[in-house]
Amino acid sequence: MALMRALLAILFLLAAAPGRAQQDTTVYMTLEQAPKSLFPGAEIERKDVSSTHEFKEKLKARLGRVTPTVWEPSYSTFKATQDNKTVGYAVVVDEIGKVNPFTLIVAATPDFRVRDVAVMVYREPRGGEITQKRFLAQFKGKGNRDPILLDRDIVGISGATLSVIGANRAVHKALSVLELVYR
Amino acid sequence: MRRLLSFCTVLFILSWAAEHTYAQSPPAAGQSSTQPPDPSTAQPADQSKAQPPDQNAPADPAAAQPPDQSRPAPQTPGVRTGGVKLGDTVTVGGYGSVRYEANTLEEPKPSGFDFRRFVLTTDATPNDRLQAYIEIEFERLAQIEVERAVDRFDEGVKFAEELEGGNGGEISMEQMWGQFKFSDPFSVRFGMILPPVGRFNMNHDDDRWDIPRRSLVDRNVPILPVKAAWSELGIGALGSVPVGKSGQLSYQGYLVNGAVLDFTVEKVVEAEEPDEPAIIKLASEVSLGRGPVNGEGGVRAGTWRVGYSPTLTTDFGFSGYIGGYVPEFLEGDERTAESREVEERITSIGIDGLWKYGAFALEGEYIHTDFGDTDRVINGFIDSVTGSTGIAPLAGAEGTEAEFAIKDLTPSRQGFWLEGRYRFWREKWKNNFLGKGFDNPGLIGVVRYERVTLHDAIEEVAIENGEIERGDAETLRQERTTLGLAYRPLQSVVFSVAVEFNRRLEGSVLLFPRGFPERRYTSILAGMAFGF
């Protein structure tokens, strides 16, 4: 009984502790750095797109079965050109992993297939394996018609399942946004 | 107790309300009003973590990634993902499972509905370098009820106590540890931990598996020194480091109190002969169990695992456990030379792996456990009970019996399981009863083959009614092939059916269920497991 009391007290005191979620936040790239990192040497043209009701409805229709956990009010998108030729597009999106959102930048080729994915901000102490190169490399070449689903065309990470599912949603959403804006 | 609970509840509600009034809460899944964070304004605690882009780098995923030392620490072993968030620092999760079994065994037939377990987990992370984790299990436990009464009457007084509960019920603290992260590749964990022998003990959550029964190696026989989920009290270090372009090397190592032969006292009321008075029987049984948690017995053991994952689809590990298991009360009397030498050790070695190729996964584990010279342990037990005379205590008073027994000793055990899984789904099923409303449902076909061997096993040595009964040693071997089909509407919910084909390969009785004489039997299982 004494043990149970001690456990309960510890549990509730920890729950009552002031919020310190910011301490778990790791910023890997800022909004300025991210597109340059994905398209080195290219000229970057930024375009902020407001997620109007009409845009959101189109996005929903394009996403189909995929239901994002975050609906951004606007999207920072980028067009990369080199020698007057479009080499790709990119967009910044957020999705929830376990309980907090993480921020990804997804770069696409001119035919809207994933060229690169990078984590810009990760806000949780768990599930951080999704920032690993070996995980993100799986998305390369994926298009919006691919399943991009755990255990189908994406290999999961034991212990980071929710973050993996979140990353899958984020890539789907990013490709859909880019298609809506640039196609 | 009630006041403490009320106080804690009020404290929690107040803190929760304050946090949600003055701070922005994280967005909830599925809410359209959820606002994303602004990465352009997100400031790291340590600005050096923000990696500037390399303009000369090639357009390669690696170029967009931070250097390895900036990776968040990998998921700590034994910790569940998911759960319900309480405040900013505590997540409550858990899992539960039930099963139905029918089989071709004769009486007493172990069949019917089985409440396997319900486990509650609490994960407290007040800071990304600090973590506490608690896992409490309720296994086959529907109720515990204690009744106590004092009756005073003219001739005297009566004190009575009654304990009610179901057979096989258990409440267990499976994990309770705190962890301090010195750096990504090095954390220290202190408390009740899971010995990382093999891969099942660390990943024992029922919702993770597609067959509604645990393996012979880890649970039913077991080959592990103590059946899974096996936990021990101790301290150790763990971490992981990236190796090469896509590899990951992980390690865990702990010093623990260690598994030990311990005793239980059984009370039996037995009617043996017609027209004879019933007898009251007390039996003291010594068998191997998890180590003490009361600060007695000393630190006896060490356990470790080194894992290497060259790619995301491959992972294998090499693990072990070594430690003494003979308690002081069995080491006997110093007057006899042999009994002084009862210092036998458990040595377990495990090899395990997981390999994935597309929708196919192959996972397996091999464990070998050696218990040293178990004859010495048995002699130590006999010496202890007989006072080193070899003469068994006489029978007790009429109507009573006392028995001393040591159970289930085997000089060495070994076994393995190998499981193949194939996940499949057809898009045309998305609107039928299996797919409707779910993002990524799946069906999984699974095959598991297991084989276990107990070498020279002695089921029991009993000292009773002035006699010492020593069972014959025999090698027991059993194999089991399981074919199963699982349906996962969500990643953490599984409905499964399976057919098990068991065959006794050596010895006079089955290893699981222990003691049944059948050469073969078949079981049909249907189960459900959920996690949150």
* Strand (E) or helix (H) holding B264: strand B260-270
Note whether B21 contacts A: Cβ–Cβ < 8 A.
Answer: no
Mark yes or no for CB contact B75/A11 under 8 Å.
no
Task: Say if CB A38 and CB A46 are below 8 A apart.
Answer: no
pLDDT of B495: 98
pLDDT of B268: 82
The token pair that represents A122 in the structure block: 């990760």
Nearest to A15 among B66, B86, B127 (CB): B86
Mark yes or no for CB contact A40/B83 under 8 Å.
no
A74 strand-pairing partners: A50
Nearest to A11 among B88, B122, B491 (CB): B122
pLDDT of A19: 40
pLDDT of B151: 86
Domain boundaries, chain A: 21-182
A72-76, B212-216, B298-302, B326-330: least confidently modelled range: B326-330
Say if residue B222 is preceded by a cis peptide, omega within 30 of 0: yes
Closest CA to A159 of B238, B409, B403, B506: B238
The CATH label, of 2.60.15.10, 2.40.160.10, 3.40.1180.10, 3.40.1650.10, for the domain at B69-531 is 2.40.160.10
| Closest residue of chain B to A109, computed from CA coordinates | B59
Nearest to B59 among A39, A105, A157 (CB): A39
- pLDDT of B413 over the 60 cut: yes
Chain A residues whose CB is inside 8 A of the B425 CB are 152
Task: Say if CB A148 and CB A82 are below 8 A apart.
Answer: no
Contacts (Cβ under 8 Å, ≥6 apart) of A115: A38, A88, A107, A108, A109, A140, B59
Angstrom distance (rounded) from CA B510 to CA A7: 42
pLDDT of B346: 97
pLDDT band at B17 (very low <50, low <70, confident <90, very high): very low
> What are the angstrom distances between the C-alpha of A96 and each of A67, A163, B64, B128?
12, 7, 21, 18
What average pLDDT score do residues B226-254 get?
A: 94
Mean pLDDT over all residues of chain B?
83
Greater confidence, B19 or A174? A174
Angstrom distance (rounded) from CA B439 to CA B29: 14
Chain B residues whose CB is inside 8 A of the A163 CB are 81
pLDDT of B502: 97
User: Which ipTM did the prediction report?
Assistant: 0.74
Chain A residues whose CB is inside 8 A of the B203 CB are 158
pLDDT of B38: 54
pLDDT in tens, chain A (183 residues): 554 565 556 545 544 444 443 345 788 899 999 999 999 999 999 999 999 999 999 999 999 888 899 999 999 999 999 999 999 999 999 999 877 889 999 999 999 999 999 999 988 767 778 888 889 999 999 999 999 999 889 998 887 888 999 999 999 999 999 999 998
Greater confidence, A73 or B26? A73
pLDDT band at B164 (very low <50, low <70, confident <90, very high): confident
Based on the number of CB atoms within 10 Å of its own CB, is B468 exposed (0-12), middle (13-18) or buried (19 or more)? middle
Entry pTM: 0.80
pLDDT of A35: 94
Query: SS3 letters for B46-80?
Result: CHHHCCCCCCCCCCCHHHHCCCHHHCCCCCCCCCC
B17-31, B385-399, B412-426, B513-527: least confidently modelled range: B17-31
What is the per-residue pLDDT across B55-101, written as a single tens digit (0 to 9) for each? 333 334 334 444 343 444 455 677 776 666 666 688 899 999 999 99
pLDDT band at B336 (very low <50, low <70, confident <90, very high): low
Ramachandran bin of B387, using left for φ above 0, alpha for ψ from -120 to 50, beta for the remaining angles = left
What is the per-residue pLDDT across B255-296, written as a single tens digit (0 to 9) for each? 999 999 988 888 888 876 777 778 888 888 889 999 999 888
- pLDDT of B497 over the 90 cut: yes
Tell me the HSE value of A7 on the side-chain side, using a 13 A CA sphere.
16
Q: Give the minimum alpha-carbon distance from B232 to chain A in angstroms, rounded to a whole number.
A: 17
Query: SS3 letters for B454-470?
Result: EEEEEEEEEEECCEEEE
Hey, which residues 280-319 in chain B have their CB within 8 Å of chain A? Answer: 311-313, 315
Chain A residues whose CB is inside 8 A of the B53 CB are 29, 33-34, 36-37, 40
Say if residue B58 is preceded by a cis peptide, omega within 30 of 0: no
Q: Which amino acid is at B512?
A: F
